[in-house]
Amino acid sequence: MANGKRESVWEPHFRLSLKNGTASAFAAMTGEFEQWRQGQPVPKPLPDGWHTITPQMAEQLLLLNALGANRKAVWAAIVYYALQMLAGDWPATGQPLIFKSDGSLGDGQHRLWACYLSGVSFKTYVVNQVEEIESGFAYIDNSKVRTVKDALQTGGMNGLSGRLAQAIDVSYKYELGAFTATKVLDVPRLSPRHAILYAHERPNLLRGVHLSDAEYADATEMIGHAQISAFVAYKVLDLYGEPMMAEFMSALGNAQQAEDGSAIDALQQLFVEDRRIRTTRKGEVLKHEPMKPHMVLACVITAFHAWRTNAPMTLKKATLGVSETFPRFEVTEEDEQAAA
């Protein structure tokens, strides 16, 4: 309060939940924002140099972004940026906000929307007076997008960075419960920086990638998906130890030694059947949709638990019904007692 008057607290003119918002809700909001924008005074662009953009400043700067003058803002990208800002993982890299010579926003709308809707400020460099280029947005960021694989490679995990990136994707979605009997649920995108941290926090994940690629290549070939094989090796190694992981992967990769009626036998039969080429009597190849990778994982987990308890298994029991809960790698009390 100053001179007996209460100072007003800024409130955003528009709000949209990052958690519950949708692309259609964002599109509706941007339409309302455009109508509101047209009745507002035109703010002055920021001077060239470093600035900390607050949500209030972001609202003003978005007034310089007329609807249709820039590429259409993508809700998923805004949420992706905003979650990183909320996590304190948005460093000042030097990538600027760009304003054109007419004062309009040239590049930065996704960052500004993320700041505005998250309520989190970010530091950035600002560049002004960029001369107008026809379809100029087509030239901005017109380079190879940095992937998780790129981040892992530059983060000291070269060699198998591609395989590790795929295994991280499987592990991340598994931990978030994204796998179901019918589909893979949408989850927040894992940024390259968080992928590096994720890998460092799970050293056995990289070891699982190495082992499944080298020592247990036969098991990887049997499973048919290198990223699933790497994840299985990692989880069994992490929860049950290397001897059990080695025994299971070796058994799975040996197509000649499986005992009839065993879990390994059922799993091997399932994979062979899934890859069998189906033809008509005239020899015409029939269209066949093989199992999705996450369903292959479900079968491996189910068979693993049957194998480790010496439970018999049929081909039908190795598969997951549409109404069944996606299986998990779990350590029982018996496991803990045996390890003690």
Question: What whole-number distance in Å separates Cα of residue 1 and Cα of residue 324?
Answer: 61
Which structure tokens are listed for 87? Answer: 């996590």
* pTM score: 0.63
Q: What is the pLDDT along the chain (340 residues), one digit of tens a residue?
A: 455 555 578 999 999 999 899 999 999 999 999 999 999 999 988 899 999 999 999 999 999 998 877 778 889 889 989 998 998 889 898 889 998 888 888 889 999 999 999 999 999 999 987 766 444 444 444 444 556 666 565 555 556 778 888 999 999 999 999 999 999 999 888 887 788 888 888 989 989 999 998 899 999 999 999 999 999 999 999 999 999 999 999 999 987 776 788 899 999 989 888 887 666 677 676 677 788 999 999 999 999 999 999 998 887 787 888 889 999 998 876 655 555 4
- The span from the first CA to the last CA of the chain, in angstroms, equals 64
Burial class (CB in 10 A: 0-12, 13-18, 19+), 69: middle
